[in-house]
């Protein structure tokens, strides 16, 4: 990957669920904004789109490889929707079904970077929060970005998508770019941005977390057992 990464972008604004589960899946009127602002800015700097899908067109089976392996064909995945984390297992809510990235083995050939612009990417109160990310990802995936807790979805907070792209293009490291973008666009103490690095060992994970940039991204992992490092922005 270089300054012209392949982007995969998707969002869900409404959800087809039976009662009473539907109550938990409120409409996300502005879920399209952060990924749209991100991809617009990135395309202006030379990135390409491998896929852009939303609502009923964004299917779990196209992400988990049952029908298609969309996520494998990109360097950069950006999804915005509802997220849930139970028993150290994370899933995203799409229009018609849920998708658990680690269960489907994300990262076999791509992406290198995954942004889950959702609530509850990780639950640090669970001592086993690392397990699914160390066991259920392929060697290509090196950086995972999201939120440790709730994620605000409104007009102003969604500007994080634009801020993130601008930070990347300014040469900031990838993980700090995300943490800073959320800080720039969210009210203090509301959204806790998180960056997770998956390395060959502790030093590699720490380097990825602090130093990897869009122009110098990490190559595929070589170690069988990954090392996980995370940073949270309060």
Tens digits of residue pLDDT in 15-28 = 998 888 778 889 99
| The pLDDT of residue 234 is above 80 | no
Average pLDDT, the chain: 94
Residue with tokens 């605000």: 152
Q: Calculate mean pLDDT across residues 108-129.
A: 95
pLDDT at 4: 84
| Angle at alpha carbon of residue 189, lines to 188 and 191, rounded to 5° | 95
Q: Is the pLDDT of residue 135 over 90?
A: no
Is residue 2 pLDDT above 60, yes or no? no
Closest to 55 in 3D by CA, of 20, 82, 21: 82
3-state secondary structure of 126: coil
Per-domain boundaries in the chain = 6-233
Instruction: Please determine, for residue 3, whether its predicted confidence score (pLDDT) is greater than 70.
Output: no
* DSSP classification of residue 19: T
pTM here? 0.96
Q: What is the pLDDT of residue 1?
A: 52
Please tell me the total number of residues recorded for the chain in this structure: 234
The model's pLDDT over 44-92, given as tens digits with 9 standing for 90+, comes to 999 999 999 999 999 999 998 889 889 999 999 999 999 999 888 999 9
CA distances to 105, 140, 157, 190, 192 from 76, rounded to whole Å, are: 16, 11, 21, 26, 21
**Whole-number pLDDT of residue 88:** 83
Q: What is the model's pLDDT at position 22?
A: 76
Kindly report the CATH number that applies to the domain delimited by 6-233. 3.40.50
Averaged pLDDT, 205-218: 97
> CA-to-CA distance for 7 and 39, rounded, in angstroms?
8
């Amino acid at each position: 990957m270089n300054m012209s990464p392949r982007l995969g972008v998707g969002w869900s604004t409404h959800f087809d669920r039976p009662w009473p589960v539907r109550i938990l899946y409120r409409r996300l009127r502005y879920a399209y904004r952060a990924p749209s602002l991100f991809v617009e800015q990135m395309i202006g700097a030379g990135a390409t789109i491998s896929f852009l899908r939303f609502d009923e067109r964004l299917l779990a089976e196209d992400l988990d490889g049952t029908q298609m392996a969309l996520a494998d064909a990109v360097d950069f995945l950006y999804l915005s929707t509802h997220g849930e984390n139970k028993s150290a297992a994370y899933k995203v809510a799409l229009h018609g079904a849920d998708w658990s990235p680690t269960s489907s083995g994300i990262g076999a050939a791509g992406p290198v970077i995954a942004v889950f612009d959702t609530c509850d990417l990780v639950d640090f109160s669970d001592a086993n929060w690392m397990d699914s990310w160390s066991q259920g990802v392929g060697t290509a995936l090196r950086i995972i970005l999201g939120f440790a807790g709730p994620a605000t979805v409104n007009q102003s907070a969604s500007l994080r998508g634009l801020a993130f792209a601008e930070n990347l293009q300014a040469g900031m490291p990838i993980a700090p770019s995300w943490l800073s973008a959320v800080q720039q666009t969210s009210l203090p103490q509301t959204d806790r941005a998180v960056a997770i690095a998956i390395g060959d060992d502790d030093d590699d994970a720490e380097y990825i977390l602090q130093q990897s940039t869009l122009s110098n991204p990490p190559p595929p992992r070589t170690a069988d057992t990954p090392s996980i490092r995370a940073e949270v922005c309060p």
